[in-house]
Structure 1
Amino acid sequence: MARSKVKYSYILNHTLRRNPLRKRRLCVVKKLYELTNLSDVEACPIIYSEIDSEPFVWPSIDEVRILITKYHMFSKAERRKTEGQSNQETFTRQRLGKTEETLRRQQRENRHNQTTYIMYQSMINPQTAMSRLNMEDFIELLART
């Protein structure tokens, strides 16, 4: 049987709020465990909640302290570099640049295909095909010959 769609909203009842938190926390730990094993990376979640008196830490407090100490041992420039990689604005700019380059490449390919089509049409019916060309088309055809 399929599960019904869960409505995401704040659960007002304090006791009812514990179970979803516990389940989600277990899912996060499982995913992080898989990520650290498969990718050979170091990671740790620290989850604060008003339900628990102490924060939830995985895998252990000592390992988390070691990981945080390693992070603080990086110079400030190195930390800024890694933090900048996860910045949403930087990601969006990089993605936009890649998309614009893909667009330019596609436009060049379309233009090339169009001039090839015109060349073939000019072999079949030269007067009709050449009468529809503008100056840019003539220049591109001359460059291709």
Structure 2
Amino acid sequence: MTRKKVKLAYIANDSARKATYKKRKRGLMKKVSELSTLCGIEACAIIFGPYDSQPELWPSSSGVEHILSRFKKMPEMEQSKNMVNQEKFLRQRIAKTNEQLKKMRKDNREKEITRLMFQSLTAAKGLHGLNMLDLNDLGWVIDQKLKDIAIRIESLKKPSMQLQLRSQPQPPPPSQPSQTQPQSAAWLMELESPQDQMRFVGDDMLLPFGDQTYNYDNAMWSNAFFP
């Protein structure tokens, strides 16, 4: 059986208020003790009540004095950094609740407009009775859905493109010329390259290497190879 939620308000009945005070006081002291033991921190509690002649202290009078002295040695900004009173605490709770309410209203509005969009697509409901605010919200929801679809399509395309690139045969690496190739063969390849289609030596023009129309009686040829 679930516990009934207690309304946070002043208890008008004296006997009920006294019983609640004793019960909550024991619970508070237990929580402070557990917090100090489990987290290894220094904590203390001071409770002034109308039903006790002396204030309730935890863990002891000397322990409370030690912690309070450490607290007073801190700078004033550090002392009040996380300190709240009842009014400030309630204001923080109200602000947090308002933010949650605003978020829930936005989510509900988006779900409502999305449902209206699907109804209009299935011709279950027309758009004639909508006002300008509803139409603007509907346009915004449609734009968001289109953007989500485009992002989804792009994410589905990437794995298939990568798979196609992997399946394509890779071209062989370019062959490097052998470092041990003889100098005569390299000289022959250099002469046969397209860059050496025409050579000039002095004032005479040499035709490509191996040309059958070359004049072997040329003095430069005979002097170079047949001394």
Secondary structure, aligned partner of 1:103 = helix
Matched, 1:96 2:104: no
Q: In the alignment, residue 124 of structure 1 is paired with which amino acid?
A: T
Secondary structure, aligned partner of 1:130 = coil
Q: Give the structure 1 partner of residue 139 of structure 2.
A: 142
Aligned pairs for 1:1-145 (under 5 A) are 7-8=15-16, 29-46=29-46, 49-50=52-53, 57-83=57-83, 86-125=84-123, 128-143=125-140, 144-145=142-143
How far has the Cα of 1:45 moved from its partner? Answer: 3.5
How far has the Cα of 1:137 moved from its partner? Answer: 1.5
Change (3 A) 1:120 1:58: closer
Q: How far, CA to CA, are the matches of 1:60 and 1:92 in structure 2? A: 31
Per the normalisation by structure 2, the TM-score is: 0.44
Q: How far, CA to CA, are the matches of 1:26 and 1:87 in structure 2? A: 22
Secondary structure, aligned partner of 2:127 = helix
Q: How far, CA to CA, are the matches of 1:140 and 1:9 in structure 2? A: 52
How far has the Cα of 1:25 moved from its partner? Answer: 7.2
Aligned length: 124
Report 1 or 2 for greater relative contact order, CA contacts < 8 Å, sequence distance ≥ 6. 1
Q: How far, CA to CA, are the matches of 1:35 and 1:111 in structure 2? A: 43
How far has the Cα of 1:28 moved from its partner? Answer: 5.5
Change (3 A) 1:46 1:137: closer
Q: How far, CA to CA, are the matches of 2:123 and 2:29 in structure 1? A: 69
Secondary structure, aligned partner of 2:43 = coil
Per the normalisation by structure 1, the TM-score is: 0.65
Change (3 A) 1:133 1:91: same
Unaligned runs of 5+ in 2: 1-14, 144-227
Change (3 A) 1:80 1:136: same
| Structure ranking higher in helix proportion | 1
Change (3 A) 1:82 1:137: closer
Q: How far, CA to CA, are the matches of 2:100 and 2:27 in structure 1? A: 37
Say what the alpha-carbon RMSD is for the aligned residues. Answer: 3.2
Change (3 A) 1:58 1:92: closer
CA deviation map 1:105-124 (0-9, x unaligned): 11111111111111111122
